[in-house]
Amino acid sequence: MKLTIFQQPPAYFKRFYYLAILLNVLLSVGKLSAQNLTAQRDLTEPGSTAAEALCGPIEIITLCSNDPDSLVNFFEGGWGLRKLGPFAPSNREKKSLSKQWQLPANTNFRLMYFDRPAAPGTILLRVIIFEEKFPLIRSAYGPEENGPFTIGFPNARQEKVHDKMLSLGYNTLAPMQAALLSKPDGSKYKYLETIYKGPDWIHAVGIERGNGMPQLSNIDSVTGMGGPGYSAMNVTGMSDTMIAFLTQILGYELRRDQVWTTGNGSALGLPAGMPFRFVIAYAKGATSGHFLLMDFQKKEPIYSTHPPHLPNRGIGMYTVKTDQLEEVLTRSIQAGISIVSPPRLCREPLKGSYKSMILLAPNQVYIEVIERKK
């Protein structure tokens, strides 16, 4: 799928600018691929129920950092999340978590969290703040390195978000992307998306769907801000094995599996004409908290500089919940999935006690599976 990309103009031209975008895209819509024109179920419409789910949507994204202030500026100052902490775990908590997270012996750390309480069901960000300086997972901005890529922030005010992020000094991979896309009924809706460069090579996506389309996560009705609502990963050369992991081990369902092509000025910051497999996997019955996978065709994988998991800095672990931890464990063993840490009780300052297991996904990312309290 090719999208038309436009450079954002000065503020006093905005109304004319966005009208021009919509007129331009309406004129060119006939050039879009058949994928765009074919009516299909919307992403947020499950083909199943939550009662059928083995594992739920992404509950927590865990990041590692040596610079908590930069993350506070980005997530609280930029994206309007609430900051909780930092907390100093007790010696007992630290020992338990270090063992579960496979941290080097005697590693000292604190924990900080970000959430959006006015938008229930959005993802909790958990930050492990290390005193010791661990290496960065990624080596540059952009989508080409395999591993975790973005954290998605659906919202209903992307133009204002964009102005705010730029005013705070955050750069983007490319100018704001604007287009008209097809609804399931064949009518059109406005789509705006921008990818921002955060600390530790982290990327955050601001994305708005207009014309009555539901956003890709719950939003705060007062501020119009939503998310974290999903996360994207580059899985070039391993999309089939990652799909098998998500569907067969976690019990997720695919709601998109297509091949798209980058357009001129792609929001990904890549040249035009690059085909990539685009896969979206949701927990059954879920309307957000999904994984987005990109597999760039005709390209050799570019592996991250360091393994994309704890304790290396950046996005290194995703957490989902289940009522059937033993079933997930059995499936993992039968499929030959590496068990980083077997099920055990853990405790942390904000979340209290819980039973956790950590798997090593085929792309080397940690996937934590927590058993829901019964």
Model confidence pLDDT, tens digit, residues 268-294? 999 899 999 999 999 999 999 999 999
Copy the structure tokens of residue 30: 């006939």
CA atoms within 13 A of residue 321's CA, in its CB half-sphere: 14
Q: Where are the alpha helices (DSSP H) in the chain?
A: 14-28, 34-37, 68-71, 91-100, 158-167, 239-244, 325-335
pLDDT at 4 exceeding the cut of 50: no
- Structure-token match 């604007």, residue found: 178
pLDDT at 78 exceeding the cut of 80: yes
What is the model's pTM? 0.89
Q: Are 273 and 281 in contact (CB under 8 A)?
A: no
- pLDDT for 371 equals 96
Mean pLDDT of the chain: 90
Model confidence pLDDT, tens digit, residues 146-168? 999 999 999 999 999 999 999 99
Per-residue pLDDT averaged across 104-122, rounded? 96
Provide the percentage of residues in the chain whose pLDDT is more than 90.
80
pLDDT at 125 exceeding the cut of 90: yes
pLDDT at 17 exceeding the cut of 70: no
Strand bridging mode 314-322 / 338-348: unpaired
Per-residue pLDDT averaged across 113-133, rounded? 97
pLDDT at 301 exceeding the cut of 50: yes
Domain 1-60+135-374: give its CATH architecture.
Answer: Roll (3.10)
pLDDT at 22 exceeding the cut of 50: no
∠ at Cα 77 (81, 145), nearest 5°? 80
pLDDT at 24 exceeding the cut of 80: no
- pLDDT for 374 equals 65
CB neighbour list of residue 140: distance below 8 Å, 6 or more residues apart: 201
